[in-house]
Structure 1
């Protein structure tokens, strides 16, 4: 019996020789190691891909934000330039030419009240202020006794007609503005029940200057959007 044979064992269990038997490692351990390595590699690759996607989208968002900021900045500069241009154009001597001078406006003075002499005295005052005076008479039936305010300024529609009525309106406080289908360039000042006298000359001049200062500017929408 060999020294390697445990006591009490023999026969087919007897161990001969003087070397220990070699034991092979189980093959499934190698598979576990390989699977672990593959899992680590897969997770690393997934993490790297996620970081790349985050960088791409973050870069795109930053670029869009920068582009939007540049556009907004450019738009603001454009609006500022337009505002400055309009402010510079406002008040130029050419604005005064958009409104007619009083001596180019022929005014018919018509009395719609039961007080006599108002048409004549008003016409004389308008003449002193530089207006051309046309007809001086009582108002026609459609206005006679029917104008409760200080008066009505009446003329043809259109840009020129509106401009003439605006200038005449500076001479009469709280007057209505109306239009008819007349062919001529004259305008009517119809005296109403609340009329006492024309506006003070200084007030009328200030009102006329105000119309000149606020002459219509170029059309277009302002900068909101």
Structure 2
């Protein structure tokens, strides 16, 4: 006579496959999350690392060729001969001055203004290295690639030559990196260009009621 098996008591061991499945899913989720965090950390480290690319020596020399920058010097004051004096200073530092005259839109009460057209911001920054107190504005009216230097009544002379050279070297090095493929560093260089308050890109209007003196050039 065969013996019958005793029935399993209620509350005995439950099957564990569902628990194992949940544990496997948890392990996989942790693994995926770890890969995501690791990849993000690598991207952050990559972005933080300085870019070592740079333009060639020939390209850097081309960027630093100040003689290719054509400058128009205008006197925005009642001081006779100011534009001619600035022309001599800029020519002595290697720039090409193509025109000297008087500002035809009144007297400028600031130290001065540098105006440039679209696509000439880098060249304007090189000129501005010699006039750190000047405003730098993009103008929609300049379309010939020239950089306009307008001296105002608060003009106190051109910057120290050594200081200007150091600034120009930094600007050239930064531009060389950009042209070589490096991203432009956020906040690495202050954007000195300012558009007009109306968003038109024109420079602020000079003081009304006064006309600059004949520059005598």
With structure 1 as the length reference, what TM-score do the two structures score? Answer: 0.67
Instruction: Give the secondary structure class of the aligned counterpart of 1:89.
Output: coil
1:43 aligned to 11, 16, 19, which one? 11
Shift of 1:148: 2.2
In structure 1, stretches of 5+ residues that fail to align are 1-33
CA positional deviation for 1:120: 1.1
Instruction: Considering Cα pairs closer than 8 Å and 6+ residues apart, tell me whether 1 or 2 has the greater RCO.
Output: 2
Contact 1:107 1:132 in 2 (8 A): yes
2:126 to 159, 167, 173: 167
Displacement of 1:87 after TM fit?
A: 1.8
- Verify the 8 A CA contact 2:118 2:143 in the aligned structure 1: no
Q: Kindly provide the CA deviation profile for residues 35-59 of structure 1, in whole angstroms up to 9, marking residues without a partner as x.
A: xx6461x422xx422x432222122
What is the deviation of 1:202?
0.8
Higher helix share: 1
Name the counterpart of 1:202.
162
Q: CA RMSD in A?
A: 2.8
Q: Which residue of 2 aligns with 1:154?
A: 115
Change (3 A) 1:93 1:75: farther
SS in 2 for 1:185: coil
Instruction: Tell me if the contact between 2:112 and 2:154 (Cα under 8 Å) persists in the aligned partners.
Output: yes
Shift in alpha-carbon separation, 1:185–1:100, aligned structure 2, 3 A: farther
Could you list the runs of 4 or more consecutive aligned residues of structure 1 that deviate by over 2 angstroms after TM superposition? 51-55, 74-84, 90-101, 180-183, 212-221
1:64 pairs, out of 3, 7, 29, with: 29
Q: 1:94 to 1:43 in 2, by over 3 A?
A: farther
Aligned residues: 176
1:101 corresponds, among 65, 75, 78, to 65
What is the alpha-carbon distance in structure 1 between the residues aligned to residue 84 and residue 157 of structure 2?
Answer: 12
TM-score normalised by L of structure 2: 0.69
Instruction: Note if 1:132 corresponds to 2:96.
Output: yes
Q: Partners in 1 of 2:65 and 2:159 — Cα distance? A: 18
Counterparts of 2:71 and 2:185, CA distance in 1: 35
Rounded Cα–Cα distance in structure 2 between residues aligned with 1:187 and 1:136: 12
CA distance, structure 2, for counterparts of residue 81 and residue 200 of structure 1:
38
Specify the SS of the correspondent of 1:157: coil
Gaps of 5+ in 2: 187-217
- Residue 177 (structure 1) aligned with residue 136 (structure 2): yes
Residue of structure 1 equivalent to 2:42: 77
How far residue 170 of structure 1 moved from its aligned partner, in angstroms, is 0.7
